[in-house]
Amino acid sequence: MADVNLKINGIEVTVPAGTTILEAANVAGVKIPTLCFLKDINAIGACRICIVEVKGARALAAACVYPVNEGMEVFTDTPKVIASRKTTLELILSNHNMKCLSCPRSQNCELQKLALEYGVDCDRFQGAVTPSEVENTNPYLVRDNSKCILCRRCSAVCRANQGVGVIGANERGFNTHIGCAFDQDLTDVACIGCGQCTVVCPTAALTEKDDTDPVFKAIADPTKHVVVAPAPSVRVQIAEEFGAPIGTNAEGKMVAALRRLGFDAVVDVDVAADVTIIEEGTEFINRVQNGGALPLITSCSPGWVKYCEHYYPEFIPNLSSCKSPQGMYGALMKSYYAEKMGWDPKDVFVVSIMPCTAKKFERTREGYKVDGLNDIDAALTTRELAKMIRKVGLIWEKLPDEEFDPLFGIATGAGHIFGASGGVMEAALRTVVEKLEGKELDSVDFTDVRGMEGVKEATYNVAGMEVKVAVVSGTANAGRLLDKIKSGEANYHFIEIMACPGGCVNGGGQPIHDAYTRANVDIRGLRAKGLYNQDAACAVRKSHESPIVKELYANYLGEPGGHKAHHLLHTTYEKRKKY
């Protein structure tokens, strides 16, 4: 492809043909502001914030969609451009709920940031305001269209990355608003609860449902034993909320913060991830040896599971019957751990810290109960944990490094990598290959399944059998792969599917970064690297070699896949309506 030479603010730039002005400006070291733009997902030139002046053009151009030409001269900061952006921001604010002091995105709102930078007059344009209502009918998301700027990022990511497309623009003109078809509630459509819309929203039109108050209430209740555990990826996300570099592993400070918040026990979901591998690995071996439904598909991602139930129910028999690590952790806290601590299970309040909004839905599933008790009483996102830490006045930088409670807090490297796409598959292979071959692995690193690609494939010779595996992230990719399986074009034995692109490191409950950072920093890769570094540093890197897991099965659960394990650690699924 030929190169194109142009000037941006007098700076000479050479870029490939087809490059947009926005991309070329970045090469020149010039940042053009955006609101609707989202790299690889939403480039529609709708918000008009990225407009620039092109020499010889009659009108200002939207940089995110305007391709460069040979000899083009672009100006991004002329008085005309600045005045236009300021007026556009003031028009957006004229129809915007500006209760910024109580907004969950205050100080991390792309609109608020631009309004401050451009010195806007919030009262310049006054008049009618689009009527809107807050939707708060589901257990995971809150939608407030009074804060929506119609950027359409949410509908784009829902359609493009997730293959769901349950939200979009309704009506026209002044009455345009984002919603479901026929303005149905999210609970009445095939929303999978992944929360990717909340991560890309530039304001607070879409946020996770805040469950911090019930947790604070439980901590303050002297009759409750409140147990908390973070998911694998949370340790490489939480520090970003306090200014640390993306991907910083802050496990020690996170544990210290949780103790200081008042939790009675601080344990690790990664241990439950190790248990998941034992159960899922046993299930895979049984299916291979006894003619069970193949491919076996992982069930750790609740967004993926709900997607399967809505859109591909014919694959429900292929889903692993294992609960996710969150569910196994909760069930074991109210059985094994309660027994060890001498607690009545009815008095144990179990909290999980997740990178995922769909975990809030998962905890409400009927199959996530044991003996009438919910496995999980509250599922908080990484963002909610950060909110709690700020609320009680903990100074992140001054927190020491502490360790999890040892009874359920020492995980293997296999448990840690669950948060990255391919991590569940690699953890499973470390155990399944050794079990089938009856000998120790020469290397535990299955690098073929690592990486941020949407679909990864590998074939391994295991005990004389060719085992074909696939790793998929983003449910749109999952749908395409399942279609290939249905048509006979593809065939696998074992598939890992994560709802969110890149896996849990890119979950819907993660710290939010603006569009510029998302376009120019490998957020998913950096977070995943933090998990793989922790795995590499572990003395024990295979789930079946965990001393905690061995003790758990030897003295409590019995055989993997046995009656007690099934009662506590396995679940069922249901076909759901598609429309």
Report the CATH number at residue 110: 3.30.70.20
Last residue of a domain, one of 155, 190, 208: 208
Residue 578 above 90 pLDDT? no
Helix/strand/coil for 134: strand
CA separation for the pair 415, 269 (Å, rounded): 8
The DSSP bridge partners found for residue 62 are 51
* 101 shares its domain with 153: yes
Q: How many domains does the chain have?
A: 3
Would you state the pLDDT for residue 1?
65
CA separation for the pair 480, 483 (Å, rounded): 5
Nearest to 318 by CA among 363, 367, 280: 280
* 298 shares its domain with 408: yes
Would you state the pLDDT for residue 125?
95
Element spanning 362, H or E: helix 358-362
* 445 shares its domain with 563: yes
Residue 25 above 70 pLDDT? yes
Chain CA centroid to CA 190, Å? 18
Would you state the pLDDT for residue 136?
93
Report the CATH number at residue 378: 3.40.50.1780
Range of the domain at 114: 93-208
pLDDT tens digit sequence for 204-252: 999 999 999 999 999 999 999 999 999 999 999 999 999 999 999 999 9
Residue 560 counted as domain residue: yes
* 192 shares its domain with 245: no
pLDDT tens digit sequence for 506-524: 999 999 999 999 999 999 9
86: DSSP letter: H
373 phi/psi in degrees, rounded to 5: -105, 135
Last residue of a domain, one of 174, 208, 242: 208
Residue 194 counted as domain residue: yes
Nearest to 129 by CA among 161, 85, 98, 169: 98
Would you state the pLDDT for residue 417?
98
CA separation for the pair 372, 386 (Å, rounded): 31
Residue 401 above 70 pLDDT? yes
Mean pLDDT of 195-202: 97
Q: What is the pTM of this model?
A: 0.96
CA separation for the pair 284, 432 (Å, rounded): 8
480 phi/psi in degrees, rounded to 5: -65, -40
* 233 shares its domain with 260: yes
Element spanning 352, H or E: strand 348-354
Would you state the pLDDT for residue 131?
76
Element spanning 350, H or E: strand 348-354
* 137 shares its domain with 225: no
* 24 shares its domain with 120: no
Would you state the pLDDT for residue 127?
86
Token representation of residue 116: 């401050």
Contacts of 436 (CB under 8 A, 6+ apart): 285, 462, 463, 465
Token representation of residue 82: 């600045």
Do the beta carbons of residue 281 and residue 469 sit within 8 Å?
no
Token representation of residue 128: 């009618």
Do the beta carbons of residue 11 and residue 76 sit within 8 Å?
no
Residue 291 counted as domain residue: yes
Of the pLDDT bands very low, low, confident and very high (cuts 50, 70, 90), residue 542 is: very high
The percent of residues above 70 in pLDDT, for the chain, comes to: 100
CA separation for the pair 349, 263 (Å, rounded): 10
Residue 84 counted as domain residue: no
Of the pLDDT bands very low, low, confident and very high (cuts 50, 70, 90), residue 130 is: confident
Do the beta carbons of residue 552 and residue 336 sit within 8 Å?
yes
Token representation of residue 30: 């010039």
HEC string for 235-303: HHCHHHHHCCCCCCCCHHHHHHHHHHCCCCEECCHHHHHHHHHHHHHHHHHHHHHHCCCCCEECCCCHH
CA separation for the pair 387, 372 (Å, rounded): 31
What type of residue sits at position 533? N
Contacts of 398 (CB under 8 A, 6+ apart): none
Do the beta carbons of residue 162 and residue 193 sit within 8 Å?
no
Tell me what percent of the chain is helix, strand and coil, each rounded to the nearest 5: 45, 15, 40
Would you state the pLDDT for residue 3?
95
Residue 572 above 90 pLDDT? yes
Nearest to 323 by CA among 335, 340, 311, 339: 335
Residue 472 counted as domain residue: yes
Last residue of a domain, one of 187, 208, 229: 208
pLDDT tens digit sequence for 547-559: 999 999 999 999 9
Chain CA centroid to CA 138, Å? 18
Would you state the pLDDT for residue 509?
97
* Cα-Cα end-to-end distance for the chain: 44
Would you state the pLDDT for residue 129?
87
pLDDT tens digit sequence for 411-430: 999 999 999 999 999 999 99
Contacts of 26 (CB under 8 A, 6+ apart): 32, 519, 520
Taken in order 129, 105, 215, 333, the sign of the CA dihedral is positive
CA separation for the pair 230, 381 (Å, rounded): 9
* 217 shares its domain with 197: no
The DSSP bridge partners found for residue 141 are 208
* 226 shares its domain with 100: no
* 401 shares its domain with 463: yes
* 202 shares its domain with 217: no
Report the CATH number at residue 64: 3.10.20.740
Would you state the pLDDT for residue 579?
72
Residue 85 counted as domain residue: no
pLDDT tens digit sequence for 359-376: 999 999 999 999 999 999
133 phi/psi in degrees, rounded to 5: -125, 150
Query: Angle at Cα 444 formed by Cα 501 and Cα 266, nearest 5°?
Result: 65
The overall average pLDDT reported for the chain is: 96
